[in-house]
A = this chain, B = another copy of it.
Amino acid sequence: MAKAKNILFIMFDQLRWDYLSCYGHPHLQTPNIDKLAAQGVRFDRAYIQSPICGASRMSTYTGRYSNSHGATWNNVPLKVGEMTMGDHLRKAGMDCWLVGKTHMKADTEGLARLGIPPESKIGKRISECGFDVFERDDGMRPHGPDGLYDDHGAETYNAYLKAKGYEGDNPWHDYANSGLDDDGNVESAWFLKNSAKTANIAEEDSETPYMTRRGMEFIERAEGPWCCHLSLIKPHWPYIAPAPYAGMYGLQDMLPVVRTQEEYDTAHPVLKAMMTGPVGASFSRDEVRNAVVPAYMGLIKQIDDQMGVLFQWLKETGRWDDTMIVLTSDHGDYLGDHWMGEKQFFYDTSTRVPLIIYDPSPEADATRGTVSDALVESIDLPATFLDVAGGEAVPHILEGHSLLPILHGTATETPRDYVICEYDYSATTLPKTLGVPITQAQIFMLATKDWKLIHFDGGFRPMLFDLKNDPQELVDLAEDAAYAPVLDDLYAHFHAWALRPSRRTTCSEADFAEMRAKSRTTGVVLGTYDETEIAPDLVRHYVGRKARPWTETVNRTE
């Protein structure tokens, strides 16, 4: 085995950490992913930085907290000037390619202001979050009365489907994400009652196999060293699986719903607004869960099978031996847990993700098949990749830590004591519902291994969970006076985090050290009363000089 030359960075969308058998799901067997874990390290406390696709990904791709990069929700442009994984890796001699989804929205205003042509090589990379694009596909083609949801939705995939003979203007919707009744009516999986149906598509043409193949096509053509972000949309909604995955799981295979009447009745006002909103209310209905969860499981089973195909192919082509493989997700999915749907808010259900890293290098032999309970954040990935690429660490820019020491068995923990997750709900209906100005429509999570603090900007009380004794996070302890010292301690960490100098990205620690000495040796000799007080060399340009009275030198005719 050789040292990892390339990186295959696989991300699924909305994949819960606990819906893989290696993470403990009792009924959903994912042997291929489990095998990857057996060959690598499975991280058991990997947290994303925001429970929403766009913000989570922007953190992963920039290696910076949401509050640092500012792209705090879906479709908030990542501003020109923020450095990305691609910037760091290319500097270290590794290409950085995209196959699939990023949810990146280009800062077109910033590009125009800085005079960067969007079609130039640099302009394209900035617009694509630092990636060179093999295929960009954000995985969805929603369509409403005001038009399409985004500009990157399933275009190439739709073209592929059309070429294969699938009909209509949007086969992504009509075939990949819908069933079909006996009368030829499309049963759209936008309506959750249809999630239990079978997608009207050949399995090989559905989204996961399609994009997996695209990944292999990239790797086949690529010359290393490369980092390939293979970014697949499923098991993200619309929830519907093709045969044979549709119907593969039944009610008896579902994890029991995690919710109590008491948590609902006593819920924090912001949380309650989420629970009682249309999505929360919908996923609180048993008929919704019963339709959706089996489809969600089928989609994951399909993912696992496709990973089997991919890993086998990597072995056959030799890439298994020189490629680090990272498998993770951008957040989870409540599926009715905690009276919620979707992914907003900070239960582990959403903020904790699967993270498996297989490193082919001999240094990693000692840790194969181990489980790490280190506190890991998604922002650790760019720092890890930069380390693999042999680049110099840039802790003044990348806020995460390389995981190589853990992968190589030289460390068991990351340097952090807590993980952070942030949620900006400015773009939702909640600020209006709750009467919160958008400058305060923010929630923050700080979690240690034992505790989880949730801080609400805008004057709300906090929430507190005891992760050790209440891992399902059902009992909010924040108002229990007995836990005031715990809250104080967590808040001290939180306030320190909030003050981190994360915008100071243009000077490294070494730069500052150099500046310390430099002002004096370039002549700024502050506070010197008399030249005898100071080293002669420092003032050699100021002493022993001769001049004439200005009256004798000045050209008065001018």
**Which residues of A approach B to under 8 Å, CB–CB?**
67-83, 87, 107, 109-110, 113-116, 120-122, 126, 142-150, 163-168, 170, 173-175, 178, 180, 184-186, 188, 190-193, 200-202, 205, 237, 278-283, 285, 287-288, 291, 341-342, 424, 426-429, 432, 438-439, 442, 444, 457, 495-496, 498-501, 503-507, 509, 512, 515-516, 518-531, 537-551, 553-555, 558
Asked, given contacts A110-B506, A114-B126, A506-B107, whether A549 binds B180 with beta carbons under 8 Å apart, the answer is yes
A426 and B186: CB pair below 8 A? no
For A542, give the chain B residue with the smallest CB separation.
Answer: B188
Chain B: minimal CB distance from A472 (Å): 23
For A508, give the chain B residue with the smallest CB separation.
Answer: B438
For A203, give the chain B residue with the smallest CB separation.
Answer: B550
B72 and A87: CB pair below 8 A? no
Cross-chain pairs A/B with CB under 8 angstroms, 28 sampled:
A69-B503, A80-B114, A114-B116, A114-B122, A142-B525, A143-B523, A143-B541, A144-B521, A145-B537, A150-B522, A168-B545, A173-B542, A173-B545, A174-B545, A185-B546, A190-B539, A191-B539, A205-B550, A205-B554, A278-B527, A282-B526, A288-B527, A288-B529, A427-B512, A427-B515, A498-B498, A498-B499, A503-B503
For A557, give the chain B residue with the smallest CB separation.
Answer: B165
For A538, give the chain B residue with the smallest CB separation.
Answer: B144
Partner of A342, one of B174, B341, B526: B526
Q: Which residues of B contact A554 (CB under 8 A)?
A: 164-166, 202, 205
Partner of A115, one of B109, B120, B516: B120
For A288, give the chain B residue with the smallest CB separation.
Answer: B529
How far, in angstroms, from A541 to B190 measured CA to CA in the complex?
Answer: 11
Partner of A167, one of B72, B280, B553: B553
Q: How many identical subunits does the complex contain?
A: 2
For A176, give the chain B residue with the smallest CB separation.
Answer: B550
For A170, give the chain B residue with the smallest CB separation.
Answer: B541
For A166, give the chain B residue with the smallest CB separation.
Answer: B553
Partner of A495, one of B178, B495, B530: B495
For A68, give the chain B residue with the smallest CB separation.
Answer: B503
Q: Which residues of B contact A87 (CB under 8 A)?
A: 113
B426 and A144: CB pair below 8 A? no
Asked, given contacts A278-B526, A528-B192, A542-B173, whether A550 binds B145 with beta carbons under 8 Å apart, the answer is no
B429 and A504: CB pair below 8 A? no
B547 and A438: CB pair below 8 A? no
B506 and A186: CB pair below 8 A? no
B522 and A439: CB pair below 8 A? no
Asked, given contacts A501-B67, A527-B281, whether A115 binds B122 with beta carbons under 8 Å apart, the answer is yes
B149 and A519: CB pair below 8 A? yes
Chain B: minimal CB distance from A183 (Å): 9
Q: Which residues of B contact A528 (CB under 8 A)?
A: 190-192, 282
How far, in angstroms, from A173 to B544 measured CA to CA in the complex?
Answer: 13
How far, in angstroms, from A5 to B505 measured CA to CA in the complex?
Answer: 37
Asked, given contacts A79-B506, A142-B522, A523-B144, whether A501 binds B282 with beta carbons under 8 Å apart, the answer is no
Partner of A529, one of B74, B146, B193: B193
Chain B: minimal CB distance from A192 (Å): 5
How far, in angstroms, from A549 to B182 measured CA to CA in the complex?
Answer: 9
How far, in angstroms, from A82 to B81 measured CA to CA in the complex?
Answer: 8
Q: Which residues of B contact A500 (CB under 8 A)?
A: 439
Most B CB atoms within 10 A — which of A287, A506, A553? A506
For A173, give the chain B residue with the smallest CB separation.
Answer: B542
Q: A149-B522, A163-B555 provided; 20 other pairs, C-beta below 8 A?
A: A67-B499, A67-B503, A80-B80, A80-B81, A143-B541, A165-B553, A170-B541, A175-B547, A178-B545, A186-B547, A188-B542, A188-B545, A190-B523, A205-B550, A205-B554, A279-B526, A280-B527, A282-B528, A424-B504, A498-B498
How far, in angstroms, from A79 to B113 measured CA to CA in the complex?
Answer: 14
Q: Which residues of B contact A537 (CB under 8 A)?
A: 145
For A185, give the chain B residue with the smallest CB separation.
Answer: B546
Most B CB atoms within 10 A — which of A107, A282, A541? A541
Q: Which residues of B contact A501 (CB under 8 A)?
A: 67, 70, 72, 424, 439, 442
Q: Which residues of B contact A180 (CB under 8 A)?
A: 547-549
A457 and B515: CB pair below 8 A? no
Asked, given contacts A168-B547, A554-B164, A555-B165, whether A144 binds B68 with beta carbons under 8 Å apart, the answer is no
B142 and A524: CB pair below 8 A? yes
Most B CB atoms within 10 A — which of A75, A148, A523? A523
Q: Which residues of B contact A283 (CB under 8 A)?
A: 527
A70 and B174: CB pair below 8 A? no
Partner of A527, one of B287, B341, B426: B341
Asked, given contacts A457-B499, A498-B495, A529-B288, whether A164 binds B518 with beta carbons under 8 Å apart, the answer is no
B122 and A550: CB pair below 8 A? no
Partner of A504, one of B70, B175, B281, B549: B70
How far, in angstroms, from A518 to B142 measured CA to CA in the complex?
Answer: 11
Asked, given contacts A444-B499, A526-B279, whether A506 binds B76 with beta carbons under 8 Å apart, the answer is yes
